[in-house]
Amino acid sequence: MRRWWVLLPSLLLPLSLANVAHADDDCPPGSWFCEDVEVQKPEVDADADADADVDADVDAEQPKAQPHAKKKKKHKKKKKTKTVEVEGDGDTVVVVDDDTDKVVVVEKTSKLAPPPAPAKKKKRRWAEKFGLNLRLEGAAFPAAEGVYEDVGMGGVGASFRWRPSPYFAFDLGTDVLGGNDYFGHERVEVSGALSGVVYFNPQHRVQVYGIGGINLSHAWIDTDEDYYYDRYDGRYYDSNTAEIEHDYVGGHGGLGVEFRLARHVALHIDALAIIRHKVDDSPPEFTDASGNTTDTSGAGLFRAGILFWW
């Protein structure tokens, strides 16, 4: 019995020690025994502390990630009103901002303006023209046996010209000529003519033209024959000096040149050949060496004058 009591303390002592060790909650998990140990702090260098401070400052300076910003609505800017004033010949421009009262002065440097583009020539449409022709003229007769030596006539003329086309014109005129005829008799003639004029090169200043038409004429002749024929009575009368009259119908044609001096003024020269026939009841006008008679005659007419166009 005593042996049991003696062994009891020896059994209780280990159990009490184990219970004390388990009662410390500061021991790490899975450890049955732990004790308080004084842990020494590791020594830190001053340089390492400075580096750590720099890293902290860099981290602080870096912007933090911000949440996705909402899109802002665009507001239309109000148009600024400006006042522009030009002074002088356009070399100085003053701009005034009416909102801020800001004044800006701009000095323009003069630059040579580029030459203007050449204007296109406009094609002019033809407009009918009217003209007045004033001229001097002379008649020449062919030389033949029995023709008076001093034969020749000269005079003046005028005509009205209508040009509806650049290539064609009508000419209506009258001429008065005087001089000596084939037989040396003094003669005065008045004629009227209607002609057509064809221009071959109307686009030039110097224009060549052809002219042709019909003419009527009346002649007064002073003769020293011993007789003359009175067409009104149908009889011959004896007289030392007599005045006889003849009527002619004929045609003419020729070439001419017109020189434009200005838009409304031109000079011209032309040469015409005239063939005509006597149509009155008087005796035949011409008799050749064989005794043949005829009332047909011809002459050359040379004219020069001035034309006024409008």
Q: SS3 for 132-173, per residue? A: EEEEEEEEECCCCCCCCCCCEEEEEEEEEEEEEECCEEEEEE
pLDDT value of residue 38: 54
pTM: 0.56
pLDDT for the residue 282: 84
Do the Cβ atoms of 156 and 136 come closer than 8 Å? Answer: yes
Phi, psi of 275 (to 5 degrees): -125, 130
Burial of 152 by CB count in 10 Å (0-12 exposed, 13-18 middle, 19+ buried)?
A: middle
Residues of the chain with pLDDT under 70: 1-112, 143-148, 224-242
56-66, pLDDT tens digit by residue?
554 555 555 55
* Both tokens assigned to 308: 């006024």
Residue 296, pLDDT score: 93
Domains of the chain: 129-309 (2.40.160.20)
Residue 156: Cβ within 10 Å count? 14
Q: What is the pLDDT of residues 70-95, one digit of tens each?
A: 555 555 555 555 555 555 555 666 66
Q: What percent of the chain has pLDDT over 90?
A: 39
